[in-house]
Amino acid sequence: MLFSAASVLFFGFLGGFLFEKMKLPPLIGMLLAGIVIGPSGFDLLSDALLEVAHDLRVVALIIILLRAGLGLDRSRLGETGKRSLPLAIIPNLLEGLSLAVLAMWFFEFTFVQGAILGFIVAAVSPAVVVPAMLNLMDRKIGMKRKLPVVVLTAASLDDVFAIALFSSFLGLYLGTQSSFGLQLFNVPLAIFLGVLLGLLVGLVLLVFFRRFRIRDSRKVVLLLAVSMFLVTLEERLEDVVMVSAFLGVMAIGVVIAEGKSPLATRLSIKLSKVWVFAQILLFVLVGAAVDVSIALEAGLLGIGFVFFGLFMRSIGVLIATSRSRHPWRERLFIVASYWPKATVQAAVGAVPLAMGVAGGELILAISVLSILLSAPLGAFAIKRLTPFCLDHPSEA
């Protein structure tokens, strides 16, 4: 396993470094490195590492969401909340439902089967979007109208809706969900419970940090441990009630930022150093989870299916931002920021196949294909559009 871990770090660093030198997003190089050294390529990774790959990806995601929370405050969230909610709902619904209908035509699925596929593909990847928006926030780019905060918040909420709708339609297909309306009610409930738990945990940590003098490095360890417990709690409660643990993780950071801003800044700096290591794990292991041979099975129809979804999502973004203060160039940037898919598709793409859903192999193939096509495209578009679409500190 030591050789596998070394391979992840070495080839992930090399891929990111080479792409950065080519003026391309480093994460594309890391994703490609994962594909090359993973089961689809030279198969350099041990089964032991692949078995814990999901947990390692979750830890990396927790790190970036904590950084996101520590960089926010109530005033920013208050200003951007009304703009983030339509962005989290409208593009997701439009893409997921459009793909459900298209799947009935392309693949002869029932509407429920198509919706299962549609809402897997519709989920935006916080693993790609959140780091990009944090980078812009650190550089004060696009902050005149708080655009990175809007996109960051909306992308996190988007996943909640996509997973809830996927779970709802999967339950309908399997006959385990008696009330579809009740299941949909779980969406706002999951958001509320996740944020509430995060706020409570954040308050307890804030009191602890004020009462006991410990080094910032140890505070980071405690933050990570508590956040992992919160995500584990979501998994334990999933058969009883939905809880958005990732939003809870962000809420922990927001509470600390609001209550003790200098501490939040120091902790964010510490986590940014950990992120240098964690991002390699995240993107290389996402790449390793991609089975290129399965993606190829989807063929040209699968490629057309994925791009149609991105087109409908783009229309959804334009609708959601139609009444906003954002000029056209910023709305174009939001469109591109909402393209990347990776996290949810890698995590649940194989679930329908495992649960015996007809067409599960095709659902998995298109889930994988959506990562291969949209993650590099979205990351590239975000980088290229930033200088032309967003205000810079000198302009603000």
Could you say which DSSP state residue 324 is in? S
At 304-353, the pLDDT tens digits run 999 999 999 999 999 999 988 889 999 999 999 999 988 788 778 878 88
CB atoms near residue 22 (< 10 Å): 11
pTM above 0.85, yes or no: no
Which stretches of the chain are DSSP H helices? 2-21, 26-37, 47-51, 53-70, 74-106, 111-121, 126-138, 147-174, 180-211, 216-237, 245-259, 261-288, 292-297, 299-320, 328-337, 343-348, 351-354, 360-389
Residue-level pLDDT at 95? 97
CATH number belonging to domain 2-389:
1.20.1530.20
Assess contact for 65 and 249: CB atoms under 8 A.
yes
Residue-level pLDDT at 182? 58
Exposed / middle / buried, residue 206 (Cβ in 10 Å: 0-12, 13-18, 19+): middle
Low-confidence ranges of the chain (pLDDT < 50): 178, 396
Residue-level pLDDT at 75? 60
The domain ranges of the chain are 2-389
Helix 216-237 × helix 180-211 angle, to 10°: 160
- Nearest CA to 241 among 203, 169, 191? 191
Token digits of residue 242: 């939905």
Residue-level pLDDT at 396? 45
